[in-house]
Structure 1
Amino acid sequence: MEEKNIKLTLSYDGTDFTGFQFQTNSRTIEGELTKAISAINKTETTICCAGRTDSGVHAEGQVVNFFTTKNNMGERNWFMALNSMLPKDIRILKCEFMPIAFHARRSAIYREYWYNIVNNDSISALQQRYFSHFPFFKLNEQLLEEYGSILIGEHDFSAFCCANDASESKNRYIHSIKVERQDNIITIKIIANAFLQHMIRIIVGTMLKLHKENEPKEEMQKILLSCDRNMAGSTYYPKGLTFKKVYYDESILKKHYNVPRRTFLEE
């Protein structure tokens, strides 16, 4: 039977999950997806994702792929069937048949994450699940972006990953870090070829620490070059972080960000 490669683009509220990766006796994104896909496939099915998110981290553009020999089901059939079986905090946004060579992780060029912060003395009850709260101190988005600019390019990010990160290489390429404000919402947008474990949350924690202590941007350079996790800031809260998008089409990336393709570094 002909094998098909299916790409799913999905969103999820990560609040009540212990992360993406499967864990025995824990509720995970991978566990819920695998259960639903395997039930439809009528055989145990493995999936591959573009990036593994931590416990409490959300997604609006996560991508996974898997293989099936169910040739009687079209893209819309899979879309409808999966959304009917998955819990409400995981939603399939798009289902596409892809070439057999497509791989959700290895075919990716860049990933984009947003970190959202409510910079106000109080936070709405409706924002609690999806925003971090930074009260009683007015953040300057231009200064935060200056700190972030030090990290752009290819570097050893050992100072910005957790001790449990098992990556053989700690080198990653950050294309851009943009910081925007809309009323009392600060959004830190980071695009890179790949990320180390907790890398974005540690970068955010470090940017906020340097800002609050009124440190010059050269301090970020010292932290980066030190490769010492103890010099960086805290691992900031997971709930403010959202996996926004995976880039596969180089022409789209050039159109929006005017950036050349970089060699993918294994996660």
Structure 2
Amino acid sequence: MSPFWDTIDTMLQLRGGDYKSFALFGPVHLFWLGLCAVLCTAGFFGFRRLGDRGRRRVLAVLTLLLLADELLKDVSALATGQFVWQFLPFHLCSINLFICLWYTLRPNPIAAEVLYALCLPGALAALLFPSWQALPLWNVMHLHSSTVHIMLVLYPVLLLGGGFRPSVRRLPAVFGVLALDTAAAALCNHFLDTNFMFLRGSYGNAALKVIEQLFGPAYILGLLLIVFAVWAVLYLPWTAADLLRKRRKKI
């Protein structure tokens, strides 16, 4: 079978568990990061110039591309006999595909908040520290993983360009969504012997491996602390801006 169709598991079985086809922040990795930066910058400023109808069309097209990208992964794995339970959509980024669909069909602040608080940092972290380093550039799973995460970063960036403003008051609802996602992933991990949402270990992710080494048996606690730290960074500017605006009104 051509290496183009190999999955991560197949490639690691062939080349060894430590095999890396491209280096972290090497030319291939920087290409995808650069493409993401260009698309997000152009998308942010371009989206804000569109009217409501144009914005809806852009989000609809992006959602269809996301779903098609996910379907490509599953169909190619099934067609080549490489499908495993791990390909089910219970990873955080896969679940966010459906949040994108939810917002596209019915725009609402909760879905937008979930995309900002969970989808944006999660997809960006996946791009910065890809778990698919074993796969070469010309490989369907490499192309899928890179493009789907770029689009998942792009979607909430477009919402920000369109005027969405995050609010810390909606974080309890976001945490509820995260808790439900985690519970579903944990159940699947228990019954299917999978590692959805990396609850059972880092599995080739450089950033999560550091957390795993630092926290040891308290790895899950480490993940939760990282979530809260990321939220602090994401919401501090908006909270500070709201406080400044209130002070100016009082003056």
Q: Report TM bin, short chain.
A: under 0.3
What TM-score, normalized by structure 1, do the two folds share? 0.25
Greater fraction strand: 1
Larger proportion of helix: 2
